[in-house]
Amino acid sequence: MKPFAYQAPGDVVDAVRSVAEDPAAVYLGGGTNLVDHLKLGIVSPDLLVDVTSLTSAEITDGDGGGLGVGGLSVGAAVRNSDLAADPRVRERFRVLSQALLAGASGQLRNMATTGGNLLQRTRCVYFQNVSTPCNKREPGSGCSALAVPGRPAPTHDGAGWTRNHAILGASEHCVATHPSDMAVGMAVLDARVRVLGPDGERVIPLTELHRLPGDAPERDTVLEHGDLITGVELPPMRGRSAYRKVRDRASYAFALVSVAAVLDVADGVVRDVRVALGGVAHKPWRATRAEEQLRGAAPTPANFRAAIEAELTDARGVDGLDGGNAFKIPLAAATVTAVLRDLAASETGDPR
Amino acid sequence: MTEMLEHQAIGRGPARRDGVRKVTGTAPYAYEHPVENPAFCHPVQSTVGRGRITAIDTSAALALDGVLAVLTPDDAERLANTDDAELAVLQTHEVAFRGQIIGAAVAETSEVARQAADLVAVTYDQAPHDVVLSDSRDDLYRPDAVNGGFPTDSNEGDIEAALAAAEVTVTQTYTTAMYHQNPLEPHTTTARSEDGVLTLWDSTQGVHPVRKAVAKVLGLEPDAVHVVCPYVGGAFGSKGQLKANTVLAAMAARAVPGRSVRLALTRQQMFDVAGYRTPTIQHVTLAANRDGTLTGIAHDVVEQTARIKEFAEQTAVSTRSLYAAPNRRTSHRLAALDVGVPSWMRAPGECPGMFGTEVAMDELAQELGMDPVELRVVNDTEIDPDSGKPFSSRNLVACLREGAQRFGWADRDPAPRSRREGNQLVGTGVASSVYPVYRMPKSTATVRFSGGRYVAEIGAADLGTGTWTSLAQIAADALGADLASVEVRIGDTRYPEASVAGGSSGMTTWGSAVVEAARAFRAKFGADPSDGDEVEAAVQANPATDDYAMFAFGAHFVEARVDADTGEVRVPRMLGVFAAGKIINARLARSQFLGGMTMGLSMALHETSVMDPRFGHVVNHDLAEYHITANADVGEIDVGWLDEHDPHVNAMGSKGIGEIGIVGAAAAVSNAVHHATGVRVRELPITLDKLLG
Ligand SMILES: Cc1cc2nc3c(=O)[nH]c(=O)nc-3n(C[C@H](O)[C@H](O)[C@H](O)COP(=O)(O)OP(=O)(O)OC[C@H]3O[C@@H](n4cnc5c(N)ncnc54)[C@H](O)[C@@H]3O)c2cc1C
Ligand code: SF4
C-alpha cells in the first residue's frame, strides 16, 4: 500500500480537468471497492478525488427535467441504501430497489454510491491477487481464470476457479463478470448515465456503459480516464418488474446468476418484456433475442423457456476447478423462466 | 468413584463475567494491548509453490521512510531449535509451499510495514509443486499414529466376509472439503523483548503451551517468556498450536529490542499459514441384516498433510465407538503435499468422519426401508466396541427419542421427494453425534483467600466460550462459597500451568484442578480462612478411565427446503439434543451448541477452500468468497440437552461441549436434502449445481 493524497474539491469542472490530466489520480466514491484495491495493491494512485463532494446526493422527480412524468434522476453520490429505500423507487422501479437490496450488506450499501457501484470492478479472484497473472490488471500477462501456459492443472483441462465467471460474451483474454446487482436492475429500466468529461457532458445508455472484454479486458467501460459519472436517469416504465438473485448463500454473496425483468401483459399477450442477466457476462446482459421472441407471444412458461434458451444458444461454460461454471447455463434458463412465470402469475396489485 | 460436587452455582446460567468489557470495547485483545510507541510487522510471503530463494533484494524496502528492519533468511537470527519446520521461520532458503513466510518488514506504521514488505524483491529457482489430494496417488502412506495418539488402523473380525454374507450393504465414497477456521479475530501478537524477557500478548488457546514452544524455538528459559491472553476472538483450533506468525512476531521484537511490535495476519494470510482442516476422502462400507443390525463397519480415509510436518486427522476414529458390529475396520492414509500444515479445527476427526458414517447410515436406512432413527436405535451398544469397556454413560437413544418427539419426526413420510410446498421441495434428516471426554494430564490451580474473597488462578484460556464464568461457578461449588465471592484469573503465564483449550477438555481438566485446589484449601484452612491463605493443587488422572469409556452423545434433526427451479438450499429448522453430563452454565452451553450446529450447517452448504493446483494456494482467501453461513441462512435453531448424571467423568459430572455441536450436523443436513430432492450429495459442500436438473 502506497501513500497517496486526498482531495475533496468543490468545483466539478476544475476537478474533472485535473483528474483527466493526471494519470495517477482517481475518483473516490464510498471507497468500498477502491480502498480494498489500494490495500491489495491492485491500483496505486497518488491522488484520490472525493466525488461525494462533487456530485449530487439527491433523487429528483423527472417531470420538467425532460424525463417524463414518473421518471427519476439519481445523483452519482446517492448511497445504495438511500436509493433502495426511496418510496418513489420502491413504487415505480421495484426491480431496482430489489436489486440494490440483494447486493452486499447493509453496512456496505450505506457507504456505496450510485456512481461507484456502476464502476466497481470484477470479483475475479485472480484479478484481486497481484501474484497471479491477469490481463485485466496487467494487460498481456495472461488470464489465470483460463488455462495458463506453463501451469498444468492435473485435475482438469487447466482453467482456474470460474464459479464467478462469464458464460456469455467472454473472450480468450478474459472471462470475468461485472458484479453489480444495481446495474442489472437499471439495465431493464433503459437507464441513462450522465457523464462529465474534460470536453463537457454526455449521456450514455446504461447498457452501453460496460464493454465486453474482447482483446482489451483492461477496459471495463467506454469511459475515458477523467470521465466523472454525475448521475443516472430513470425514464418512466410500464409493467411489473422483479429481481431475483441466485447465489451460494442467502445473503452477502455475489450472484451466480441474477435476473432483472419487466413484463407488461395485455390482452393475453406480452406487450413488452425486458430481461437482463447478471453474473453471466462482462456487463449486465440484456437478453434482447429472448425479448424479441416474446413480444406478442402468449405469456406461458413454455414460451419463456424457449425464448431464454434461444438467448443462451451462444452461452459457453468454462471447465474449471470445482466443476467449472457450465451449470450457469441451465441455471440461467431456469431462473429467467421462473421470474417471468411468477411475474405473469402475479395478477393482483397495481402494475409495478 | 470421584466425590461429586454439590451443585449450587453449577447448572445455573449466570451471564459472562467478561461480557460488559467485551460489548463496551474495553477488553483488550492481543493486537490492542496498550503499549507505548508500537512498531508494526508485515510478513513477506513466497509466491511460488516450491523452490529455492536465489536472491532477496531489500534495498527498496530499507530505503522507505519509517522502516526499522527487514528480516530475511539471509540475516534473520538463527533459531535454537528448528526440529519443527513450520516454526523454523526464516531459517532456510527452501520454499516448501506457496504463501510461506520468507521475510518481514518492521516499520513505524502498519501501512509502511506493508508497503516495505511489498517492495522486497525475491528471485526463485522454482521447482514443480504438488498439491492435489487424490485416493489414487501411489505415494499414500500410513502414519505411525493419528492426532490424539490414536492407532492409525483398527481391524476386528473379517469385514470382507461380512460384506459377502450381508443381506444389505452400502459402499460409498464421501468427501469433505478443505476448511479454514476463520475466527473473527485474526492471528495477532504484540511482542516486546526487553531486559532479558520476551513478552507476548498473543491470541492463543493456551498461554503456557505458547510459552513452552516459543522458549524451545528461541532457546530461552521458559521463565524468560511471558505470555498474556485474557481474551480471544475465536480460534476453533487454529490458535491451539504455535504457528509461524507468533514466532515471526517474537523475532521481529528481538530485532528491535525494547520496542513493542504488533503483527496481525491479514485474512488472506490466515489462509496460508494459520492452519486448516485437511480435505478428506472417505470410503465407508456398512453390512447389515434385514432387521438393520450391523454386521460390519469399515471406514477408510485418505487425507493430506504437509511435506514439512505431519498432521494426521483422526477422521475414522469415532466410527470405532459409535455402533456395534462384529466386523470392523478403520484406516487412515496420507498424501504429503507442498502445502501449509493442516491442524486442529473444531472436532478434528469426529467432524469430517461423522459426515461419512452418518450419511452412510441414512443410505442404509433407505436400502432397508427402515426409519433412520430406528436404525440407529437398533445398533446402539452399552459396551464401547473399540475398547470393550462399558460407557460411563451413553444416552444416544434418549437423544434420538427426545429429538424425534420435539421435532415432530413421527409425521414424516419416508419417501424421498414426497413433500412439495409451492416451489419448494421439503425434507427432513437425522444424524447422530459423538465426542470423547478428554482430560489433559497437566493443569494446576491456586486458591487464595484475599480481601474477604476467594481468588482462583490458572493459566487457562477463554476463547469466547465462557471460561471466566464457568470456572468461577466450579470454584464456588468446590469451596461451598457464594459465586459472587469468587474471582477467577486466567490467560497469563503468571498463573499456574494449564493445558491448551482443545478437545473440549477445558472444564474437565482446569475444572478438576480448581476442585483439587479448593478442596485442599478447605482441608488446610477450614471454613474460616485468614487473609493470604493459599493452596496450589493439580488435576489428577481419572482412575475410572481404566473401567469406562467416556463420550458425550447427541442427535441432530434438520429440515431442508430446496428451490425446485434453482436448487438453492435453505435450512429453516435445526434441532440438536445432547447428552453431555452436567451442563455447568446453561446460557453459555446453549451458545456453544448453537455455534457448533451453525458451523456444521456452514460446512454442509457453504464452506470450501478452493486450492488452485496450478499456483498452489487457496484462491477464495477472503470472507467475501470463502462463504460462511450468513444470518439469513440460519433459521430457527433449537438446542436441548438431557439431564445426564455421570459420576465417573469428574467431580462436576460434566463432559465437554465445545465440539459435539458440529459433529454430525452436516450429515443431518445432507440427509434432509436427500429426503427433499431424492439427490444424494456425497461431496461437501451441497451447492445448488449439484442439485440442478
Ligand atoms: C464484501 C463485499 C460484498 C459485496 N457484495 C456485493 C453484491 O452482492 N452485489 C453488488 O452489486 N455489489 C457488491 N459489493 C460491491 C459494492 O456494491 C461496491 O463496492 C460499491 O457499490 C462500490 O461503490 P463505492 O461508492 O464504494 O465505490 P468506490 O470503491 O469508491 O469506487 C469504485 C470505482 O468507481 C470509481 N468511481 C466512484 N465514483 C465515481 C464517479 N462518480 N465517477 C467516476 N468514477 C467513479 C472509483 O474510482 C473506483 O474505480 C460488495 C462489496 C464487498 C466489499
Ligand atoms: S478473467 Fe479477466 S479478470 Fe479474471 S484473470 Fe482473466 S483477465 Fe483477469
Give mean pLDDT in consecutive 10-residue pieces for chain A, a chain of 352 residues: 91 93 97 97 96 94 77 97 98 97 97 98 98 97 91 78 98 98 98 97 98 98 98 94 97 98 96 98 98 97 98 96 96 98 73 42
Q: ∠ at Cα A212 (A210, A213), nearest 5°?
A: 115
Atom of ligand 2 nearest to the CA of A134: 8
Please tell me the distance from the alpha carbon of residue B24 to that of residue B234, in angstroms, as a whole number: 18
Protein residues whose CB sits closer than 6 Å to any atom of ligand 2: A 122, 124, 126-127, 134-136, 143-145, 174-176, 217
Secondary element (H or E) of residue A336: helix A328-345
DSSP 8-state class, residue B196: T
Q: Which of A322, A335, A340, A341 to mutate to test the interface with B (most CBs of B within 10 A)?
A: A322
Q: Which residues contact B64 (CB under 8 A, 6 or more apart)?
A: B107, B112, B115, B116, B119
What average pLDDT score do residues B20-29 get? 95
Q: B493-526, pLDDT tens digit by residue?
A: 999 999 999 999 999 999 999 999 999 999 999 9
Which residues, including other chains, have CB under 8 Å from residue A240's CB and lie 6 or more apart?
A94, A262, A263, A264, A343, A346, A351, A352
Dihedral sign (CA B249, B250, B251, B256): positive
Per residue in B534-571, pLDDT tens? 999 999 999 999 999 999 999 999 999 999 999 999 99
- List CB contacts (< 8 A) between A322 and chain B: 608, 610
What pLDDT is attached to residue A352? 40
Q: What are B336-353's pLDDT values in tens digits?
A: 999 999 999 999 999 999
Pick the ligand that lies closest to the CA of residue A247.
1
CB B371 within 8 A of CB B414: yes
* Cα–Cα distance, A74 to A92 (Å, whole number): 14
At B174-232, the pLDDT tens digits run 999 999 999 999 999 999 999 999 999 999 999 999 999 999 999 999 999 999 999 99
Pairing type for strands B39-45 and B260-264 reads parallel
> Mean pLDDT for chain B?
97
- Write out the three cell numbers for A185: 436492475
Cβ(A272)–Cβ(A256) below 8 Å: no
What percent of chain B lies above the pLDDT cut of 90? 99
At the topology level, CATH places domain A5-50 in: 3.30.43
Task: For domain A59-120+177-348, give the fold.
Answer: Enolase-like; domain 1 (3.30.390)
- DSSP class per residue in B434-469: EEE----S--EEEEEEETTEEEEE-----SSS-HHH
pLDDT on residue B1: 53
What residues contact B514, with CB distance under 8 A and at least 6 apart?
B445, B447, B456, B458, B471, B474, B475, B478
Is the CB of B624 less than 8 angstroms away from the CB of A327? no
Q: In angstroms, rounded to a whole number, what is the distance separating the alpha carbons of residues A27 and B214? A: 47
Written as nine digits, the cell of A24 is 495517477
**Sequence-distant (≥ 6) Cβ neighbours of residue B227 within 8 angstroms:** B199, B200, B201, B202, B204, B207, B208, B210, B211, B214, B492, B493
Taking an 8 Å cut-off on Cβ atoms, the answer to whether A322 and B688 are in contact is no
The interface pTM score, or ipTM, of the predicted complex is 0.96
Pocket test for ligand 1, best of A6, A26, A27 (most atoms within 8 A of CB): A27
Asked if A246 and B566 come within 8 Å (Cβ–Cβ), the reply is yes
The set of cell numbers assigned to B377 is: 436405535
pLDDT at A351: 43
**Cβ A249–B629 below 8 Å, yes or no?**
yes
Domain boundaries, chain A: 5-50, 59-120+177-348
DSSP labels, B487-521: EEE-SBTTSPP---S-TT-HHHHHHHHHHHHHHHH
Selected residues 30-49 of chain B with any CB under 8 Å from a CB in chain A: 47
Residue B59's Cβ-count burial label (10 Å; 0-12, 13-18, 19+) is: exposed
CA gap B244, B44 in Å, rounded: 12
* Averaged pLDDT, B432-447: 97
Share of chain B above pLDDT 70, in %: 100
**What gap in Å lies between CA B426 and CA B571, rounded to an integer?**
10
- Roughly what angle, to the nearest 10 degrees, separates helices B665-677 and B350-368? 30
- Nine-digit cell string for B424: 419448494
For chain A, the C-alpha Rg in angstroms (whole number) is 20
Full set of structural domains in chain B with CATH = 38-128+183-235+239-273 (3.30.365.10), 145-179+277-437+547-692 (3.30.365.10), 440-541 (3.30.365.10)
Q: What is the pLDDT of residue A346?
A: 84
Q: Grid cell 415505480 — which residue?
A: A92
